[in-house]
Structure 1
Amino acid sequence: MNKLGLLSSLIITSSILAGCGSEPDSSSPDIIINIENPDPGDGGGDGGGDGGGDLPSITNTPLPVVEDFGASDTESFFTAAYKSLASEAEEGEDNFYFSMAGVFMEDGSVDAEGGNWITADADQKMRLGDARFTLAQTVSPLAGDVAIARKDSTPGDGIDEGLSWGELDLSQDYRISFCVVAVPDTASSSDFQIYVDNNTTSEASSIHGGGNVGSRIFNQPVNTLVPGQRVEINIPGDTTLQSGGALVASKPELVGTENSFIAMRVSSGGWAVFDDLVIEYQSDIGNNPQPDCAGKDSNYKFVNPITGGDDNNAPVEPNEGTPFTGLPLTLDFSDDAETFFGENDEADFLSISSDRTDPFYKVTSGSSRITIENGALSLNNARFTIGDTGVASAEGVQPSGDIDLSIPYRIRLTISDFTSADPADPGKFQLYIDNNTTSSGNSIHGGDSKHVELTPDDIASFPHELVLEPEIGTNSSFLQLRADSRVGNLTIEDFTIEYIEDGSGAAWAPYTLNLAGEADIAPSGEITENTDMSVTLTASGGNLSSSNHNLFFAGQMVEMSDFMFTAQISNITGADVGAGNAYRFGIMIMEDMTPVGDYAELSGWADAGFYVDGDPAELIGSRAQMKPDGSRSRSNISELEVGDYVRIEIYDDGDNKRLKRYYSKDGVTFEQANSTTDFNATPDSDSWYVGLYAAPGENTVTIEFDNIMIEEIAP
């Protein structure tokens, strides 16, 4: 009889959405299995349960399993020579640890860009990122007709009988624990996850299903793990991130069978270094002492044994999204949740304005319980932020968001479905401002940060439109949406954040624009005075060279083909470092504010204002525009001085769009600085963003604009 061994798995699981995580599609080499069913007459061994003699027998690996990751190298760790299954198996099928992603390519060769390796420390450890592996999982016909039986095959053909195919007897209370050695220093949307009898990234793909009694027994953002401390996961029982620490989760029931395996994973964007893994029965706790976690460290950043790469100089370029350019913002529910949260390496996503690798939307809890389909987002027992850079909010601490909510704004959304898990104990939908926790006091706004709290009983019918006009916010704000643990389902559509225009429609909206290239200092700014005819802005950073277009912009849209835009630059302070003409400020018009991959793809824009040059620094008048050939033209306006008026005029001139710049000492008599049709716009260009801008580089300038006018020119 040919017996097959089952492989137990340690999976480091995706933090964004179970079933949607992003990771290299790599695994151990494909295995061709020649299965000879046992003779029904001999009873089929001890592992088939109701399957009887139709299934290979399983020999359990006894607990405790203690792993110190002492393999000679990463590749060796995943071989039977390092640790083999207890069950009888074909050669090549008998390795106790099996990499599902992060070590091997499909042809069996080592993935040079993988994120999973054994560190080169004297006390070796496991570094896991964007990768997953199993332990004690055998190869079994229960996996069904799949290419690789130990990868993405659960619940398989054993679901009706509740059968799994691992070598761990987890039919009695057990504990999994490990030392945390190193994790990212900043907030991350990546989770460290552990599953039982599940070799996929979907929580429900197991004989145990999903939910609080389902297959996923551990799910924590990697940056919340505490270096020098031991994570303890009791099943059933409580989970803590350090001995005697605060409770972070609890499982009320046993999750496991007589033939279970374990899977662990760290999803895309995150990593963790850990050591001294122990799987033991709760009745045996205290009999398997391990080294003190507090004394452990690692030079993991420099020791990828395959590539020599490190976490600070990774061989794979991070996925970059499209930067946020300011309000108005409508949340895009046209794709799936993986794309929305920036976890699909093949798809574009909205990013933080100053960091194209940092997703604008971040899950703060319950990634597997957030889905997007049919143009709507649904969640339960989950929460996510909009525009947060990830710094923990706290009382008295300035928020770290990317949205300027310092001027009046409005939030619109439609709730199309809202139920409670138990109607007798209604669930709550909550919307927070500048708070990425669940405690309303953890914000600069204190308890007012929880702006909305609704239950299904508060809604008479669906769809229910919610229109909010909060009176709190800063120039670095963000939002958080939460459906608490009592929510059965909450579905949201048509979510928009916009500024509230005054009666004249003259609100100047702030935009942080990274439209082409990348500035050495990211642009930032704020508007401190904002009226129809006067604006004061303070800004720094940015770059307006011949290959970069990065700036802070206070603007509005006008629907005109022929018009002139005038403002008085009445005062400038802070311009004391001569930085050259790539660092300018003044007035600008732009046909489009969509970021482009190459500078030559920019739409038409034109400016007039100043730059700082010389030592001592002096202000020099300047004008520039985008040409049809994809290059920039720039010249001085030597007569321009602080206190003068500047004007940009554009109008249709036959088949071309003519552009003119003017200056004036009194706002009455204007002198023409130039006139040209060498401008990347046509008579079809009749929608424009007009506004006041600054890209002053290392200077932090405050500019006062007065006597602002936008006037249509009669054709």
Structure 2
Amino acid sequence: MNTKLINTKLTLLSSLIIASSFMTGCGSEPDSSAPDIIINIENPDGGGDGGSDGGGSDLHEIANTDLPLIETFGANDTTGFFSADYKALASEAEEGEGGFYYSMAGVYMADGSLDTEGSNWITADADQKMRLGDARFTIAQTVSPLAGDVADPRKDSTPGDGVDDGLSWGELDLSQDYKISFCVVAAPDTASSSDFQIYVDNNTTSEASSIHGGGNVGSRIFNVPVNTLVPGKRVEINIPGDTTLEDGGTLVASKPDLVGTENSFIAMRVSSGGWAVFDDLLIEYQSDVGNNPQPDCASKDSNYKLVNPATGGDDENAPEPEVEGTPFGGLPFTVDLTSDADTLFGEADGADFLSISNDRADPFYKVTSGSSRITVENNALSMNNARFTIGDTGVPSAEATNPSGDIDLSAPYRISMTITDFSSADAADPGKFQVYIDNNTTSSGNSIHGGDSKVIELTPDDVSSLPYELTLEPEFGTANSFLQLRADSRVGNITIENIKIEYTDGAPGADAEWMPNDLNLAGESDIAPAGSLSENEAFSVTLEATGGNMSSSNHNMFFASQKIEMSDFMFTAQISSVTGADIATGNAYRFGIMAMENMDPVADFADLPGWADAGFYVDGDPAALIGSRAQMKPSGSRSRSDIPELEVGDYVRIEIYDDGAEKRVKRYYSKDGIDFVQANSTSDFAATTDSDTWYVGLYAAPGENNITVEFDNISIDPLAP
């Protein structure tokens, strides 16, 4: 056999040894004196097997719906709004598929019946409006073969099979500058972890699952907490351009580039636990702005608690939120095959599933082809002519595209699994089982790792006996990696058990330490900053400090830092305990987490580089901890505000990223480290897009207090591209 090794180590253990491992308990590697057997595996020319999941020849013609689109939500009822009788697609569609608006959640059950606890409805007002909560729907999305082999081509199917050509399947021509606006009629008046979101060419809840990818130039063009919406005001979203929550209001976002195609569609969503009522939706070209006047938003009101679309009842008792998964907690882990395929892939109503770590609605496992040919039963997964990913957020992989997976494979790691059945559909033409790293396509070249992304391929002829223990130790990976497992079209069946991923030399960054610094960077302090670290670990720090001053003219503190080389990142920590903060000293004496461009002293406060913090100060009688955030402005002064909701035990996060020609900084807080509430967002920040070296860390300038602060669950992560 003419073969070559594909960048991996492959260990074969005898059936007897495998059997003994079952006796020693699940999750442990069996001891063995058997020698490693190196199987040389042919790497097919072209990087793939020539197979295709697409159906480009079957694409239907798309007829565009002209802009401006003006929607007043004047349907007879909720089900009527989502029917073709209210507004039909301009393109030809099969019977029952022609609705211009399509509900993906919040109105219907999986079997098509009305959800008696539905959370999305047309209000019962004389001037009807849309009440959207724990729900999502699309605008102008056609039914297209580009969605791929999925149960519902209008839900959770992007980016689909149009990735290579940048194709979408909507009726809106968004290939020129456009504007989306709508009246906010009602919204929660208390802090919420729920967001109002708008996507382009994306029918999933994952920002990156689109031909446009993620990040500031990606598919999610609007994302604000529902409680920040302003009733009586019109939200204005310019793509490209600025987004405000009211005419002339504070900038909340800015998109530097156009996001759209000649055949785009829109998705609107309010995530779990929140709601909003809006009206008079307008989608128009920026060149046409001013020619489509809308009613005064200030005159709008609503009895929005009526009507649930199925029961006709009210909203006094909030509906149950959408089922959300359990976030991925990192390596080591074993794929849980104790339930069924629907549960594994997050499709089973009411069942718990593993989700992407920072998006509970985004399943950790995703079928990339052949969902009907994957089964899970008896703690094993079987498939043929199918493939699925592990830890992929959905960004289409390509040679020049960095992966945005959820698994940190930047340290040495091992993938292992047990193959208990493996056959070809035709013994004369063996099928192949393949494992990819950072590649969610069928061509091994579509990855930043190039052809090496396919780390192994096996045929039944390569397996001497069953069960067969497969162990892979690839010598590459990233901090944002994922896996894909594939059985090609010639595989009759493959059954896999005990799929495990683990580090071989400890978690990446576990040996990192924080550098203590007594900093006097600008101005003076009555008490010189001083501190020490009684615990100094990568993910947990205990800081003791006194002195310092963080007023509008002083920048002096104790700072435990790490240097990072990143332009776009988020820095997160849990402030798990605070002791010794018993003297009310005011907001010039703060402590928490900070990011700064450098630690060089300057002559004047105005010369300080970009810095941003989030944490606490002590004030009041009796003394109490008050949440706080501040940053350095380009004008040479600082900006500081309270975060009233922040409490000891909460998580805080600083997010800094390139926002077009500027740098944007956001601060967040969270009660559980999973759902984060945005405390602010601003580009009034001294750093620039050239700032790609940062010092991040834990700081304290408590003045006359002598404090001890415990920080846990510390992480520094690049933002997804």
> TM-score, normalised on structure 1?
0.45
Bigger radius of gyration:
1
